[in-house]
Amino acid sequence: MAGATGSDTHVLLLVTGGIAAYKSCYLARLLVQAGFAVRGAMTDAAARFVSPMTFEVLTGAPVACDLWGERGTAALDHIQYARWADIAVVAPATANTMAKAAGGLADNMVATLLLAFPGPVVMAPAMNDNMWRHAATRAVCRTLQKRGVRFVGPDQGFLACGTTDEGRMAEPEDILAEVRRVAAALPPRAAGEGREAPPAGCVAGGAWTGRRVVVTAGPTVEPIDPVRYVANRSTGAMGYALAGAAARAGAEVTLISGPVALAPPRGLAAVVGVETGRQMATAVDAALTTGADWLVMCAAVADFTPAEPASGKLKKDVLGNNWALQMVRNPDILGEVVPRHRATGVKVVGFALETEDVIARALGKLRAKGLDFIVANNPTADGSGFGDVVHEVVLLGPGGELWRSGACRKDALAPALLAQLAAAAAVAGA
């Protein structure tokens, strides 16, 4: 499911007062790069090791530190953050914090969040080896495990006290792997299911907050007969990543998808499943009629469809040794459907998949169809491809190239592309 790659999952990173807090900075970066939406919270002791500003820069969101509504923290952040999150990760998890969690104490921001958070918790213990082996700590671990807490580590290694033993916080890569496993087990959020709004200023990409965004994704399949069809290699990965990123950024997202093997991202306003190019055109027309601020046409719609699909399975002994399949053009959604709605002010983003003369052909498509922006990509180039792989795109406007992504995972590429689109639209409208 989508959560396995983090494209629609909210992670609350809880940092407590151990020297290993410096490793949590790298963990925050890894989670963000993996496509998770991350918010941080810290104890006063943790802030003695690492500044909250470090996590704010790494996650792009305010860090909850104080229960009293001071130091940039709202008074109810311990409730809002807990409602916002899908997974809580405590790293490092000190003996003190683990004992508080087991006992239900709530005397600092992290302990209070753990008491208010109803979802899955991952803990990465970090402490002196004798503290880890103490009977009290072992009893605390058993209590937390019975409640469903998942532990990562501790590892063997050099400890701050100068010994080499068990008690070192697990490596951030191992913690990330466990978060991915937990995310993969989360149930899909139903289309239109609400989520408690995060604290003010926490929604990444404020330009998308409240915007009505229509995203198309995946291939279309054009029937030849009841068992055969014409299709393409699109997996829907890029479109689903964009839909999830837009929803996380506060947009009201309608996803129109061809047949794919992906679970819809969480938090969408609507999911419309289609199969053929004609159905895709009808669904886009209906969504734009309802009203949209942005249309992101990421789907790989078939240019042609069989002229007369057979009602029964075609037999090869009837077709003979040579078979000519008569094809006719599908509706041109960007060229024929979208222009009927341009008076509403909808911004239109096209995608151009090309294998040669990529930029020139993409610019030609942008100008011919009167698009606001177009995303050019070559899936056969190094650093790109179909499916859940790294990919590289170029964002173009009427004046030419605006941004090159570099090769990165699509769940990380999607929010970066949305940020570039918002910035380019702001400049164009200035």
Q: Which residues contact 3 (CB under 8 A, 6 or more apart)?
A: 9, 86, 183, 184, 185, 186, 263, 266
Q: Do 159 and 235 share a domain, yes or no?
A: no
In the annotation, is 161 catalytic? yes
Give residue 141's Cα distance to chain centre.
Answer: 32
- Of 257-266, 349-358, 387-396, where does mean pLDDT reach its minimum? 387-396
* Residue 197 falls inside a structural domain: no
Q: How far is CA 64 from CA 52, 194, 211, 241, in A?
A: 8, 23, 27, 28
Residue 200 in domain:
no
Residues 70 and 215 in one domain: no
**What does the pLDDT read at residue 302?**
92
**pLDDT, tens digit, for every residue of 400-426?**
999 988 777 777 788 889 989 998 998
Assigned domain for 146 exists: yes
Span 221-236, pLDDT tens digits = 999 988 888 888 888 8
**Rounded to 10 degrees, what is the CA torsion of 20, 24, 27, 28?**
180
Q: How confident is the model at residue 122 (pLDDT cuts 50, 70, 90)?
A: very high
> What does the mean pLDDT of the chain come to?
84
Whether 34 maps to a domain, the answer reads yes
Same domain assignment for residues 13 and 85:
yes
Domain that holds residue 151: 2-184
Domain boundary residue among 151, 184, 217?
A: 184
Mark which of 184, 219, 236 sits at the end of a domain: 184
> Which of 161, 202, 298, 408 is an active site residue?
161
191, pLDDT greater than 50: no
Give yes or no: residues 274 and 152 share one domain.
no
Crossing angle (nearest 10°) for helices 237-248 and 410-429: 60
Judge whether 14 lies within some domain: yes
Q: Does the pLDDT of residue 189 top 90, yes or no?
A: no
Q: What is the pLDDT of residue 321?
A: 82
Query: How much of the chain, in percent, has pLDDT values that exceed 70?
Result: 87
Least confident of 79-88, 104-113, 256-265, 314-323: 314-323
Q: Say whether pLDDT at 23 is over 70.
A: yes
Q: Where is pLDDT greater, at 52 or 428?
A: 52
Confidence of residue 71 (pLDDT cuts 50, 70, 90): low
**CATH label of the domain that carries residue 95:** 3.40.50.1950
Provide the number of structural domains found in the chain. Answer: 2
Res 81: pLDDT? 83
Q: Are residues 319 and 173 in the same domain?
A: no
Q: Are residues 306 and 273 in the same domain?
A: yes
213 and 151, same domain (yes or no): no
Check pLDDT > 70 for residue 266.
Answer: yes
CATH number at residue 291: 3.40.50.10300
- With a cut of 50, say whether residue 198 has pLDDT above it: no
Whether 175 and 223 map to the same domain: the answer is no
Answer yes or no: do 104 and 71 share one domain. Answer: yes
Q: Identify the residue with better confidence: 124 or 130.
A: 124
Instruction: Say if residue 96's pLDDT is above 80.
Output: yes
